């Protein structure tokens, strides 16, 4: 029986190890066992304060009548 293996370098500790061709791991057995003790990124809570919901922005628009737009600046109360 033939077994096809690949010689790989562990991304955790740098040791050389054999991996079968249908296996997808990048860590040796020692590093793999150590890393399984840590929580997965999906289950890990992020440190720091919780972000609050974004507040809605309200834009105020002033209504002008046509008469206000036609008045000269001095008559509207703003002199130069």
pLDDT digit string, tens, across residues 19-61: 988 888 889 999 999 988 987 777 666 677 766 667 677 666 6
Closest by Cα among 13, 7, 44 to 27: 13
Domain contains 52: no
Give the C-alpha separation, 65 to 68, whole Å: 5
* Among candidate residues 37, 36, 38, 4, the one with its CA nearest the CA of residue 23: 4
In a domain? residue 47? no
Q: How many domains does the chain have?
A: 1
Mean pLDDT in residue range 2-13: 90
Q: pTM (2 decimals)? A: 0.45
Residue 30 lies in a domain: yes
Residue 23's domain comprises: 1-39
């Amino acid at each position: 029986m033939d077994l096809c293996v690949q010689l790989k370098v562990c991304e955790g500790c740098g040791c050389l190890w054999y991996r079968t061709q249908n296996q997808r791991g990048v860590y040796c057995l020692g590093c793999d066992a150590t890393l399984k003790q840590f929580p997965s990124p999906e289950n890990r809570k992020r440190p720091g304060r919780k972000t609050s919901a974004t507040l809605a922005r309200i834009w105020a628009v002033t209504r002008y009548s046509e008469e206000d737009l036609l008045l000269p600046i001095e008559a509207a109360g703003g002199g130069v």
